[in-house]
Structure 1
Amino acid sequence: MRTLLNKVTVPALAFGALCVGLALPTTASADQVDSVQIQVCNNNARPMRFFVVGYNQFHDWTGSRFWDVPAHNCTTAWNYWWQSDRSVELHYERSDIGWHTKFVYVPRQSDGGTWTYSTN
């Protein structure tokens, strides 16, 4: 009986310790990464649609939703945060011209700001 109890107890304790370890915050949290929101300005007579792909504030490689930018106007990709001092992929299209990709460097800056990128 004691051997059976040990066979059940040890895995149960290990599983419990694993769950507690996953539930506690780690030292590499999002507040240690400077991240910004990106604003895209469309300096063109045609409307534009874009999305961003890159590393977010949680160190995850991810993509944003689609955003529309009117002609000669700017749009901020709200609630998407991108690590600064890194490059992101800016994917955009205008009317019937098709999709383009630009690798855009987001310079180092303080956390929580908005960085602007302009296209022609």
Structure 2
Amino acid sequence: MPYPNKRAPVPLYYQIMRWLQEQIEAGHFKAGDRIPSERELTEQFQVSRMTVRQALRELEAQGYLERVQGRGTYVSIPKVEQPLLALTSFTEDMHRRGMTPGSVLLRAGTIPA
């Protein structure tokens, strides 16, 4: 859906929200990617800025987006949730989620006793 259907019984903000959600789920926007600005989305969909803002607020509330004032709106990095009923290794869990586990050494040194 490149443009919302203004004659549909579904609200315009919801159509835009679903389109963005589908783009994220399909991998067109990846975790950490900046999505188009409110102004760009307003021009692309030919709707008011308030309509775009409502769609972005909904996606933010659902955990799909993070908004950073003055910088833009970014696709959220998926949060890792560990179910309490199953105990698996971190590596197995990350592989199952399609992520690559790893580590980064932040600092190394010797501390006198």
Shorter-chain TM-score range? under 0.3
The structure whose RCO (Cα within 8 Å, separation 6+) is larger is 1
If each structure's helix is expressed as a fraction of its own residues, which one has the higher value? 2
Taking structure 2 as the reference length, what is the TM-score of the superposition? 0.23
- Please say which structure displays the higher CA radius of gyration: 1
Taking structure 1 as the reference length, what is the TM-score of the superposition? 0.22
